[in-house]
């Protein structure tokens, strides 16, 4: 639909409201009205308008769910009201004792109790001002948490804006972020297929996902949330009970748990608990008990707290699901970066309705610390977790003295000698031609931040490896010799093969820094590669340097230095590098012309944000530094210019509020030459 300049802002607001409505229908109410293609069409239209008119972007826009850039760290947030912990009950006697204490204080035993499933996730507090999400924080120590607003915005069941007719001036909503179990299993299956280490359980993965410095990483994990209470507020309607509060949160656009139950007596609460012991495996989220709360808020206030625990609530924990079985073998797989991941092969055992045959063993230290030996009788615990944990060995059942665990010394895929770096628990295969790593190494090698070769994706890479045309990344430059044979492969048309070979040839022009990045040396990204290139000058000089020499370079620590030395100590890596050198790649740093450039940006501080069309962010930041400018990760009063691409997000709003000058990518290109 054609939209005039006069009503563009109105149209954008209408689009946002429509997208928010569909987000709630899909992610909260589970009753979508339109297919995914229709939803994607709305998002694309909004992104296009905001890309062309960045002044219309607001932090609450649906496009900003993954709009923030990687953070340097997390700011601390002091909760307006403490996020208390809960006392625990582990049997009926302890539950009845809690009920008796509450009854004595209230001088009555006929009070209602709200029973809520106890999710095994990460507690967060969401703060809304005038209906807009302004901050999201972890529970932390209960008084102080971490600001993870950008990451929480990526969770689509968290509304960016509340129902405007019902939202108070200020409300803090408490909830639990979790990783759905079905999606967690699929997530791990995908990681295993990619040769990456699998995660042990949904709870820890959810917590780790919320603490990613790059919100785009969080967005790749399908996190969800249940809300369960209201914290600090201003202008809240008269709410008299926990059940009324949950209904109010639902009306604002949040999602509470449909399994909540209002018990009239302690026996009803106990029956609710017992019913879920039997049915917990039917849930699509980890659950380790039931939280029982006195329903009336005036009773809660009267009961108060003991230390950091409320008297008016208790967590009745489910018994852990443990079984004994036999550790039949210890095996290993290889991750994309060469990390060796040990795992246990178990005699099949039924735990919580699921047959368990494998368990993660994390790393060598984990196995040694628990003294796990093949043939041992062991205790395996599931406790609501998708991937079981080996709790301990039972040495009293050992027949004789089985051999102690000894970490393998060679890669199970390529038989190269493994490396365990000082201070790290994991062992690594550093062979760049290792078949288990090769597909992902190719993916990294051809990426935009490395050699930037279009047309060689994961599927094409796998097919070329299967046909024997690629045995290491150096063989990419020999594909032109197999042109006719490649054309006979499925989905390898004349035009696509021609374009691919042309892209490969063009990549030979990439500078030495990009070549260094492309090698996939652990811990060597663009910034580290830049330091190494400018200090050593050539690949031969870098290859012959020892760890002490590299550690002396400002910005290069011992871990990076040893990683580089280990890489070049491997003969197979040296062979690949020689192949790349023969292919004509740039193996030395060209004269650094930045010293002769006029320092036109000297004394100016820049922030770069948004998706850029023609440059990577590191390209622009490097240019700023070459011209004498400084680069910061966040907008403040000290910022002079904000360089924006599409989906600029909250930094653009901050810049407008502070009166900071905004440059488009085109404007920067013109001003910086």
User: Which residues does the annotation mark as catalytic?
Assistant: 118
Count the helix, strand and coil residues of the chain and give each as a percent rounded to the nearest 5: 40, 20, 40
User: From CA 159, how far away is CA 21, in angstroms rounded?
Assistant: 10
- What residues does 134 pair with on adjacent strands? none
Contact in structure between 390 and 410 (CB atoms under 8 Å): no
Measured CA to CA in angstroms, residue 208 lies from 223, 257, 286 at distances of 11, 23, 16
Tokens of 512: 């030495």
Contact 79, 137 (CB under 8 A): yes
Beta pairing partners, 136: 126
Strand partners, 588: 538
* Residue showing tokens 């509304």: 159
Q: What is the CA radius of gyration of the chain?
A: 29
DSSP 394: -
Strand partners, 354: 351
| Local structure of 522: helix, strand or coil | coil
C-beta separation of 116 from 109 below 8 A: no
Cβ-based burial of 587 (10 A; exposed 0-12, middle 13-18, buried ≥19): middle
Six-digit token pair at 367? 């196995």
In sequence order, the β-bridge partners of residue 159 are: none
Cα–Cα distance measured from residue 277 to residue 282, given in angstroms and rounded to the nearest whole number: 10
Q: What does each C-alpha distance from 342 to 243, 359, 387, 439, 658 come to in angstroms?
A: 47, 9, 14, 21, 52
Element (H, E) at 609: strand 605-609
3-state secondary structure 111-122: CCEEEEEEECCE
Distances from the Cα of 626 to the Cα of 598, 610, 666, angstroms? 9, 21, 18
Rounded to an integer, what distance in angstroms lies between the CA atom of residue 658 and that of residue 661? 9
Which tokens sit at 439?
């597909």
- As a three-state string, the secondary structure of 68-113 is CCCCCCCCEEECCCCCCCCCEECCHHHHHHHHHHHHHHHCCCCCCE
Please list the residues that pair with 287 across neighbouring strands.
Answer: 119
Region for residue 147 given its phi and psi (left: phi exceeds 0; alpha: psi -120 to 50; beta: otherwise): beta
Would you put residue 555 in left (φ > 0), alpha (ψ -120 to 50) or beta? left
CA distances 656 to 153, 650, 653, Å, are 21, 10, 5
Instruction: Go through 313-351 and write b for each residue having 16 or more CB atoms within 10 A of its CB, e for each that does not.
Output: bbbbbbeebebebbbeebebbbbbbbbbbbbbebeebeb
How far, in whole angstroms, is CA 299 from its chain's centroid?
A: 40
Strand order through the sheet with 170-178: 132-138, 122-129, 170-178, 224-234
Q: How many contiguous H segments (helices) and E segments (strands) does the chain have?
A: 24, 24
149 vs 129: CA distance, rounded Å: 14
């Amino acid at each position: 639909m054609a939209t005039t300049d006069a009503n563009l802002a109105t149209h954008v607001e209408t689009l946002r409201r429509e997208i928010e409505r569909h987000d709630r229908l899909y992610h909260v109410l589970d009753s979508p009205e339109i297919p995914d293609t229709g939803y994607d069409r709305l998002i694309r239209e909004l992104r296009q308008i905001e890309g062309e008119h960045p002044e219309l972007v607001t932090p609450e826009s649906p496009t900003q769910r993954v709009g923030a850039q990687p953070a340097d760290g997390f700011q601390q947030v002091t909760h307006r009201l403490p996020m208390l912990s809960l006392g625990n009950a582990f049997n009926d006697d302890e539950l009845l004792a809690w009920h008796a204490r509450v009854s004595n204080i209230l001088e009555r035993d006929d009070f209602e109790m709200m029973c809520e499933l106890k999710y095994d996730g990460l507690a967060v507090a969401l703060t809304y001002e005038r209906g807009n999400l302004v901050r999201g924080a972890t529970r932390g120590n209960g008084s102080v948490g971490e600001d993870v607003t950008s990451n929480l915005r990526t969770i689509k069941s968290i509304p960016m804006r509340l129902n405007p007719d019902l939202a108070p001036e200020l409300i803090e909503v408490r909830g639990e972020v979790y990783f759905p179990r079905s999606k967690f299993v699929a997530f791990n299956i995908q990681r295993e297929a990619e040769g990456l280490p699998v995660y042990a359980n949904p709870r820890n993965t959810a917590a780790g996902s919320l603490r990613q410095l790059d919100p785009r990483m969080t967005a790749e994990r399908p996190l969800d949330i249940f809300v369960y209470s209201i914290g600090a507020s201003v202008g809240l309607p008269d709410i008299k009970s926990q059940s009324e509060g949950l209904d109010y949160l639902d009306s604002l656009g949040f999602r509470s748990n449909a399994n909540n139950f209002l018990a009239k007596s302690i026996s009803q609460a106990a029956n609710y608990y017992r019913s879920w012991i039997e049915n917990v495996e039917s849930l699509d989220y980890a659950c380790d008990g039931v939280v029982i709360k006195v329903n009336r808020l005036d009773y809660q206030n009267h009961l108060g707290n003991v230390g950091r625990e409320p008297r008016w609530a208790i967590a009745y924990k489910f018994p852990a699901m443990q079984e004994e079985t036999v550790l039949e073998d210890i095996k290993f797989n290889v991750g994309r970066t060469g990390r060796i991941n040990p795992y246990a092969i178990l005699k099949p055992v039924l735990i919580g309705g699921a047959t368990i045959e494998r368990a993660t063993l994390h790393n060598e230290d984990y196995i040694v610390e628990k003294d796990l030996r093949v043939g041992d009788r062991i205790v395996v615990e599931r406790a609501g977790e998708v991937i079981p944990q080996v709790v301990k060995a039972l040495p009293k059942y050992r027949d004789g003295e089985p051999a102690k665990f000894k970490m393998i010394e060679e890669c199970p895929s390529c038989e190269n000698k493994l490396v365990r770096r000082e201070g790290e628990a994991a062992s690594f295969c550093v062979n760049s031609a290792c078949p288990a790593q090769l597909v992902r190494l190719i993916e990294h090698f051809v990426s935009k931040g490395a050699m930037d070769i279009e047309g060689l994706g994961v599927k094409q890479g796998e097919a070329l490896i299967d046909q024997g045309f690629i045995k290491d990344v150096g063989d990419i430059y020999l594909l032109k010799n197999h042109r006719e044979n490649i054309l006979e492969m499925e989905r390898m048309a004349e035009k696509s093969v021609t374009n691919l070979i042309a892209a490969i040839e063009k990549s030979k022009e990439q500078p030495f820094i990009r070549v260094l990045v492309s090698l996939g040396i652990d811990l060597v990204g663009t910034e580290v590669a830049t330091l190494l290139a400018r200090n050593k000058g050539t690949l031969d000089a870098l290859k012959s340097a020892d760890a002490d020499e590299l550690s002396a370079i400002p910005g290069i620590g011992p871990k990076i230095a040893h990683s580089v030395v280990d890489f070049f100590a491997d003969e197979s890596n040296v062979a690949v590098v020689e192949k790349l050198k023969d292919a004509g790649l740039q193996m030395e740093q060209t004269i650094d012309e930045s010293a002769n450039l006029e320092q036109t940006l000297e004394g100016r501080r820049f922030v770069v944000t948004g998706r850029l069309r023609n440059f990577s962010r590191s390209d622009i930041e490097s240019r700023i530094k070459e011209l004498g400018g400084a680069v910061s990760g966040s907008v403040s009063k000290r910022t002079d210019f904000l360089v924006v691409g599409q989906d600029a997000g909250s930094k653009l709003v901050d810049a407008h509020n502070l009166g900071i000058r905004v440059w488009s990518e085109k404007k920067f290109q013109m001003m910086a030459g």
